[in-house]
Structure 1
Amino acid sequence: MSIQPDTEPAVGGIEPVAMTNTGAVRGRWDGQVAVWRSIPYAAAPIGADRFRPPKPPREWDGIRDCATFGEIAPQTMGNMVPVDSDLRMGEDCLWLNVWAPRRDLTDLVHTFDSGEPRPVLVWLHGGAYCLGTAAQGIYDGRKLAEAGDVVVVTVNYRIGALGFLDLSSLPGPFTPNLGLYDQIAALEWVRENIAAFGGDPGNVTLFGESSGAGCVTALMTSPRAAGLFHQAIAESPPATTVFGQERAAAVARRFLELLELPPARAVELLDWPIEKIVEVAAILLDEVPLKEPGRLAAAPVVDGELLPAYPIDRFQRGRSHRVPLLIGTNKDEASLFRVFRSPIMPVTPDAVNAMLNDVAASHPELSHERIAEITSAYPDLDKTRGALAMSGDAAFRMPAYWVADGHAQHSPTWMYRFDHATPMLRAARVGAGHATELPYVFGNFGSFNHDPTFWLGGRKVAMEVSGRMMRRWLAFATHGVPAAIDGSKHWPPYRPSTRTTLLIDTVDRVVDNPDRDLYTAWGEQAVGFS
């Protein structure tokens, strides 16, 4: 299969058409890059399939036009995740976008079906497992595809009540981890179809941020995902935010209470209006982290099948897939949650103390001495600054270290810490907050007048930092090593004995064990929720 020119001329040239296993798809040119939006990788999960794993998409006749975004996964819109107002929600949300550079810049006809196949990057968006979409402008893959001569794929998948709320303890056709099943289906689609877009199915890098990175680390330990990707990038992964079946069952019971639906009638959820499910799920998604700081209502679950054990345990036992891994966090992870007053993370001293008590209760094997040792690393824990630091470390920083320690036992691993912040973000006390690295990775900064992060300057330096990051990420996707051939600082692999880390800032630095005191306090054994 290969991309062919459309038989109908379009403004500015002939539009690209690719032949997939289920039919032909027409994209659009964006400069020298072809883009297809919302190609279905699975059938719409509606009716009896609402809470079941995805099924293959239906074949179609003729050429399917893929110029605009389809339905985004049902969710409650919030200010934490900016989504264009013209996007519509719906259950026909299992689709992906593809960006592929033109092979020959002078020939509109022979575009993709010649030359060596390109590396492929597959993106999983973040959003606390309950927000976001692959239609967000920040994830536009054109600049990344063009800069690295790669094929970029961004995946839309079920989230919230439909994707990460485990209802399998209730009577009815309910399957846990549906969001992960969707992502596996998308990776299988890439394996079967990406060659038609000029991509190499034998060189796929799975990358994601926040809960998307949590999905990356989960899939790195799932037998079902073995062989579907060959490199992995996890940006700020909440790798310990994975729950057991007992906890999942308790959340499911609370969901039914809010719905005022007896467990014996849970199967009626297959016919309920999706708007009502989303409305009640929003109450649950806020209620859980407020009552139990540090916990989420929706997250991956150890189901004994897709996830046979807690991913962090499998990493530490050397059971993760043997693929190169690039992993890291941002210096000021929790700051953004304070700015948006989001309940998703505890950001006050009282909330952090409640989280610590919950951790201690969840891990009776933890001694009082160890809890005391952890808290000793935060002398200002009774102030907002200390609470923010501990919250970010518990959710992101330490899980990334624990993953890296385990994975580096058998596979090449690189650790980074993103420290760069524009003058405006520093003035706003956001610094290098959660997700602030995203425009640097994709090269998608806002326009000069409409991007508040540059209101006090700093765009030129940010562009330089972005260029280095993009080159490293692209080199990793192409060769499995993040070595940018542009004179950038050499980035040695991570080893538990040295914990060598690249600090990304105006000037990159390589530092051994930059969080030594922090790591000493938390220890090598992962601490999370069950």
Structure 2
Amino acid sequence: MVYIHGGGYYVGSGNSLSYGPEFLMTEDIVLVTVDYRLGYLGALSFEDQTQGVPGNAHLKDQVMALQWIQENIEHFGGDPHLVTIFGESVGGASVHMLMLSPMSKGLVHRVIAQSGCALNTWNRGNLGTGNKIAEIFKIDEKSTADIIKKLQQIPMKEFVTKIQSPGELGVRVDVPIDYSPVIETQTNEPAFIPKPIIEMISEASNNVPLMLGYNNNDTLIFQVQKRLYTGTAFIFDNLNETIPADLDLSHDERLNLLASIKDTFFKNGQIDLTTNIGAISEYGLGPWFVTGYLQSIQKHLAANHNVYFYVLSSDTTLNFFKRMHPVTGTYPGASHMDELGYLFRTPYAPCFKRDSLEEKSFRQAVKVWTNFARYGKPASEEDTFKSIKITDLNDIVYINIINDKVVNSNEPHKKVWDFWRNVYKTHKRVSN
């Protein structure tokens, strides 16, 4: 099982301090965690893609890790013919793209995309980040080749210090993000993303079982971050920034959609500091996760791929991210990243007793993940719940992981999914 960490393509590491293997090691698997280039070092690209810097270095690093695993994992007791890749947030988007890319053909056999997929609009990048960096360093050469030579002369410490600013990282879904992937259409070398991602799904280079999912209160992360940094509550100050970039809307259509969002998700159509945090988190699931999942599932079903869905609703002291702020800790369910506390021994993991709810809960989550790695489905024959593939975009069947129990269910966050189904049925989509 190969884990790809999240962090917005900007921060993070696969180190054992962050992702301790102890929980997953209770099952008979071999765990590999990898690092890859981050920030502008991972997302460096030029509009002239013929000069050897077409973009997506971060994703190509992940391919190199998978190639190494094919060549060496047998020496560690692993099976190169049964490689499961799983990742969270941009790690979820990454493993989904690794399933699709021709560069990783034959390297993966199972895919688990956690709280992120290839078609989430925050996974759209900006081509030409190299020119932006050249401006920062006041490089005035005109040709791409000359700019690259100048950049290569900059000491690494100076390069990283000057451009790796946290201020560059955003959570918006309405505009491309510098660190996210780009389409490589003009490169002279193998391309990781040779065409719009949505077109790659129908001809996925690895037609393997896929499990998608998120946490039931995933966007509570916005509250945690805002309160930790500013002490104030998070609200959507500008709803216009929450409309996904893949929707092609006229001015009037945009205004109508904004009005519909307010009427559907917010009491009296108002959003201010008195707005219920639960309503804000519920709405956020749509633009940040559900919209990408809807498009992905539709394309995978059309291609007859095996797709499963999960929701993690666990709420114990293992939910490390949600418990970083006492206000958000009072809301039920699991925030963004909280599932990681059930798969890995994190720095925030509490001490707990044998047969405690925490132990039973992590063992249940680990069982679902390792079942999928073994069998290509989340349930074994001994489990009380069933593995049910999605067959209808209008009826999302899923498994709900609630602490130490797993139940089968239909239609997660029905209001959210129904709303965005209707939006994408009635409005034109722009490929990404």
The DSSP-based 3-state class of the residue aligned with 2:364 is helix
* Residues 459-486 of structure 1, C-alpha deviations (whole Å, 9 max, x = no match): 9223222111111111111121211455
Structure 1 residue 349 and structure 2 residue 230: aligned?
no
Q: Residues 243 and 252 (structure 1 numbering): CA distance in 2 closer, same or farther, change over 3 Å?
A: farther
| Counterpart-to-counterpart distance in 1, 2:234 and 2:102 | 36
2:180 to 283, 289, 299: 299
Counterpart for residue 334 of structure 1: 219
| Counterpart-to-counterpart distance in 2, 1:175 and 1:440 | 37
Q: Residues 123 and 168 (structure 1 numbering): CA distance in 2 closer, same or farther, change over 3 Å?
A: farther
Q: How many residues align?
A: 395
The CA deviation at 1:419 is 1.3
Stretch deviating more after TM superposition (362-371 or 153-162): 362-371
Counterpart for residue 158 of structure 2: 276
| Counterpart-to-counterpart distance in 2, 1:324 and 1:365 | 40
Q: Residues 378 and 287 (structure 1 numbering): CA distance in 2 closer, same or farther, change over 3 Å?
A: same
* Residues 491-527 of structure 1, C-alpha deviations (whole Å, 9 max, x = no match): 3222224210112113433221123322221127496
* Residues 275-324 of structure 1, C-alpha deviations (whole Å, 9 max, x = no match): 222223233x5246389876532011111332122324433x46463100
Counterpart for residue 125 of structure 1: 5
1:440 to 342, 353, 356: 342
- Aligned-pair Cα RMSD in Å: 3.4
The DSSP-based 3-state class of the residue aligned with 1:322 is coil
Q: Is the 8 A contact 2:102 2:205 kept in 1?
A: no
1:262 to 125, 140, 147: 140
* Residues 45-67 of structure 1, C-alpha deviations (whole Å, 9 max, x = no match): xxxxxxxxxxxxxxxxxxxxxxx
| Counterpart-to-counterpart distance in 2, 1:382 and 1:137 | 39
Q: Residues 302 and 468 (structure 1 numbering): CA distance in 2 closer, same or farther, change over 3 Å?
A: same
Amino acid at match of 1:272: I
The DSSP-based 3-state class of the residue aligned with 1:131 is coil
The CA deviation at 1:351 is 3.8
- Normalising by the residue count of structure 2, what TM-score does the alignment of the two structures yield? 0.80
Counterpart for residue 91 of structure 1: none
The DSSP-based 3-state class of the residue aligned with 2:195 is coil
Q: Is the 8 A contact 2:19 2:345 kept in 1?
A: no
Alignment of 1:233-272 (within 5 A): 233-239=112-118, 240=120, 241-243=122-124, 247-249=126-128, 251-264=129-142, 265-267=146-148, 268-272=150-154
The DSSP-based 3-state class of the residue aligned with 1:278 is helix
Q: Residues 460 and 288 (structure 1 numbering): CA distance in 2 closer, same or farther, change over 3 Å?
A: closer
Q: Is the 8 A contact 1:348 1:388 kept in 2?
A: no
Counterpart for residue 419 of structure 1: 313
Q: Is the 8 A contact 1:352 1:391 kept in 2?
A: no
- Normalising by the residue count of structure 1, what TM-score does the alignment of the two structures yield? 0.66
Q: Residues 338 and 169 (structure 1 numbering): CA distance in 2 closer, same or farther, change over 3 Å?
A: farther
The CA deviation at 1:363 is 5.0
Q: Is the 8 A contact 1:230 1:323 kept in 2?
A: yes
1:189 to 68, 75, 85: 68
The CA deviation at 1:333 is 1.7
Q: Is the 8 A contact 2:341 2:349 kept in 1?
A: no
| Counterpart-to-counterpart distance in 1, 2:246 and 2:114 | 27
Counterpart for residue 188 of structure 2: none
Q: Residues 172 and 233 (structure 1 numbering): CA distance in 2 closer, same or farther, change over 3 Å?
A: same
The CA deviation at 1:361 is 8.0
| Counterpart-to-counterpart distance in 2, 1:470 and 1:290 | 29
| Counterpart-to-counterpart distance in 2, 1:274 and 1:390 | 41
Counterpart for residue 266 of structure 2: 379
| Counterpart-to-counterpart distance in 1, 2:76 and 2:354 | 37
Q: Residues 466 and 397 (structure 1 numbering): CA distance in 2 closer, same or farther, change over 3 Å?
A: farther
The CA deviation at 1:182 is 0.8
2:79 to 194, 200, 204: 200
The DSSP-based 3-state class of the residue aligned with 1:508 is strand
Higher relative contact order (CA 8 A, sep 6+): 2
| Counterpart-to-counterpart distance in 1, 2:259 and 2:252 | 10
Unaligned runs of 5+ in 1: 1-120
The CA deviation at 1:394 is 1.3
Amino acid at match of 2:136: L
Amino acid at match of 2:200: R
| Counterpart-to-counterpart distance in 2, 1:209 and 1:229 | 17
Structure 1 residue 504 and structure 2 residue 401: aligned?
yes
Structure 1 residue 477 and structure 2 residue 366: aligned?
no
Amino acid at match of 1:327: L
The DSSP-based 3-state class of the residue aligned with 1:327 is strand
* Residues 191-244 of structure 1, C-alpha deviations (whole Å, 9 max, x = no match): 111112221111111111111111111122211111111110100115323336
Q: Residues 187 and 149 (structure 1 numbering): CA distance in 2 closer, same or farther, change over 3 Å?
A: same
| Counterpart-to-counterpart distance in 2, 1:335 and 1:295 | 23
| Counterpart-to-counterpart distance in 2, 1:337 and 1:459 | 33
The DSSP-based 3-state class of the residue aligned with 2:123 is coil
Q: Is the 8 A contact 2:90 2:123 kept in 1?
A: no
The DSSP-based 3-state class of the residue aligned with 1:151 is coil
Counterpart for residue 19 of structure 1: none
The CA deviation at 1:132 is 0.7
Amino acid at match of 1:406: K
The CA deviation at 1:370 is 4.9
Q: Residues 192 and 391 (structure 1 numbering): CA distance in 2 closer, same or farther, change over 3 Å?
A: same
The DSSP-based 3-state class of the residue aligned with 1:279 is helix
Amino acid at match of 2:327: A
Q: Is the 8 A contact 1:318 1:407 kept in 2?
A: no
* Residues 400-429 of structure 1, C-alpha deviations (whole Å, 9 max, x = no match): 343233223412211011111237847532
The DSSP-based 3-state class of the residue aligned with 1:123 is strand
| Counterpart-to-counterpart distance in 2, 1:401 and 1:439 | 27
| Counterpart-to-counterpart distance in 1, 2:107 and 2:33 | 15
Amino acid at match of 1:434: H
Bigger radius of gyration among the two: 1
Q: Residues 514 and 389 (structure 1 numbering): CA distance in 2 closer, same or farther, change over 3 Å?
A: closer
